[in-house]
A and B are shown apart, each in its own frame.
Chain A
Amino acid sequence: MDHMSLTEKWLRGIALTLVVLFFMFPIFWIVLMSLQTNETILRSPPSMVFEPTLKNYVAIITGKLDSHVASMDIAFMRNLWNSILLSVCSVAVALLLGVPAAYAFARHKFRGSEDIAFTLLSFRFAPPLLVLLPLTIYFQDIGLANTYFGLIWVYQLICLPLILWIVRGYFEDISPDLENAYRIAGHSWLSTFRRIALPLAGPGIAAAGLLAFIFAWNNFIFALVLASADKQPVTVGALAFVTASGIQYGQIAAAVVLSIAPTLALALYAQRYLVEGLSLGAVKG
Chain B
Amino acid sequence: MYEKEKDLIDAFRRGQMSRRSLIRGLAALGVSAGTAGVLVNMVSTQAMAADFDWKKHAGTGVKLLLNKHPYTDAMIANLENFKSLTGMEVSYDVFPEDVYFDKVTAALSSRSSEYDAFMTGAYMTWTYGPAGWIPDLNEWIQDSGKTSPTYNWEDMLEGVRKSCAWNGRPGGELGSPDAKQWCVPWGYEQNNLAYNEGMLKQIGASVPTNMSELIEVAAKATKEIDGVYGIGVRGSRSWATIHPGFLSAYANFNEKDLNVAADGKLSAAMNTAGSKAFHADWVRMIQESGAADWSSHTWYQVGTDLGAGKSAMIFDADILGYFMNGGGNAMAGKLAYAPFAANPAASAPTPNIWIWSLSMSNFSTKKDAAWYFIQWASGPEHGLFGATQMDFVNPVRESVWADAGFRERLDKSYPGYVAMHDLSAPGASIKFTAQPLFFDLTTEWASSLQKMVAKELPVDEGLDQLADSVNRQLKDAGLG
Contact = CB atoms under 8 A, between A and B. Distances in A.
Note whether A and B contact each other (Cβ less than 8 A): yes
Interface of A: 38-39, 42, 44, 67-70, 72, 136-137, 139-140, 145-146, 224-226, 228-230, 236, 239-240, 242-247
Given A39-B330, A224-B103, A70 B94 contact: no
Interface string B322-335: 01101111101000
Interface string B342-372: 0000000000000000000000000000000
B73 interface: yes
A69 B97 CA distance: 17
A69 B114 CA distance: 30
Contact of A137 (B77, B111, B227): B111
Contact of A69 (B106, B304, B327): B327
A224 B303 CA distance: 26
Contacts of A136: 106, 109-110
Contact of A139 (B98, B110, B301, B323): B110
Given A240-B96, A246-B304, A72 B73 contact: yes
Contacts of A137: 109-111
14 contacts: A38-B328, A42-B308, A67-B328, A69-B73, A70-B73, A70-B77, A70-B391, A72-B73, A137-B110, A229-B93, A239-B98, A242-B98, A243-B68, A244-B97
Contacts of A236: 96, 99
B300 interface: yes
A120 to B, nearest CB: 27
Nearest to A71: B73
B102 A68 contact: no
B69 interface: yes
A72 B66 CA distance: 14
Contacts of A224: 99, 102-103
Interface in B261-314: 300-301, 303-304, 307-308, 310
Contacts of A247: 300-301, 304
Nearest to B390: A70
B80 to A, nearest CB: 15
B93 A246 contact: no
B12 interface: no
Please give me the 7 A-B residue pairs with the lowest Cβ-Cβ distance, nearest first: A68-B327, A229-B93, A68-B328, A136-B110, A140-B110, A239-B96, A240-B96
Given A68-B327, A244-B303, A245-B70, 9 more contacts: A42-B308, A145-B110, A145-B114, A229-B93, A236-B99, A244-B323, A246-B300, A246-B323, A247-B301
A72 B227 CA distance: 32
A230 B96 CA distance: 13
Contacts of B390: 70
Nearest to A145: B112
B324 A246 contact: yes
Contacts of A145: 110, 112, 114
A181 to B, nearest CB: 55
A140 B361 CA distance: 15
B239 interface: no
Contacts of B103: 224
Given A70-B390, A137-B111, A240-B96, A246 B307 contact: yes
Most buried by A among B74, B110, B114, B330: B110
B414 to A, nearest CB: 13
Nearest to A137: B110
Contact of B68 (A139, A240, A246): A240
Contacts of A226: 106
Most buried by B among A69, A225, A247: A69
B95 interface: yes
Nearest to A37: B328
A224 B98 CA distance: 11
A140 B111 contact: yes
Contacts of A230: 93
Contact of B97 (A42, A44, A72, A242): A242
Contacts of A244: 68-70, 97, 300, 303, 320, 323
Contacts of B324: 246
Contacts of B308: 42
A69 B70 contact: yes
B294 to A, nearest CB: 16
B112 A140 contact: yes
A245 B304 CA distance: 8
A251 to B, nearest CB: 12
Most buried by A among B77, B310, B327: B327
A69 B93 contact: no
B326 to A, nearest CB: 6
A245 B328 CA distance: 10
Nearest to B69: A244
A169 B109 CA distance: 42
Interface string B105-120: 0100111101000000
Nearest to B327: A68
A1 B109 CA distance: 64
Most buried by A among B99, B111, B227, B330: B99
A246 B68 CA distance: 12
Contacts of B330: 39, 42
A68 to B, nearest CB: 2
Given A145-B110, A244-B69, A245-B323, A69 B391 contact: yes
A68 B320 CA distance: 13
A69 B330 CA distance: 14
Contacts of A42: 308, 310, 330
B99 A239 contact: yes
A228 B92 CA distance: 10
B327 to A, nearest CB: 2
A69 B328 CA distance: 9
B329 A246 contact: yes
A242 B300 contact: yes
A225 B329 contact: no
B298 to A, nearest CB: 8
Contacts of B328: 38-39, 67-68, 246
Contacts of A139: 110
A230 B330 CA distance: 34
Interface string B205-221: 00000000000000000
A228 B93 CA distance: 7
A77 to B, nearest CB: 15
A112 B303 CA distance: 61
A38 B68 CA distance: 20
B256 to A, nearest CB: 30
Contact of A229 (B95, B97, B323, B329): B95
Nearest to B317: A244
Nearest to A249: B304
A224 B74 CA distance: 25
Given A240-B68, A240-B96, A44 B227 contact: yes
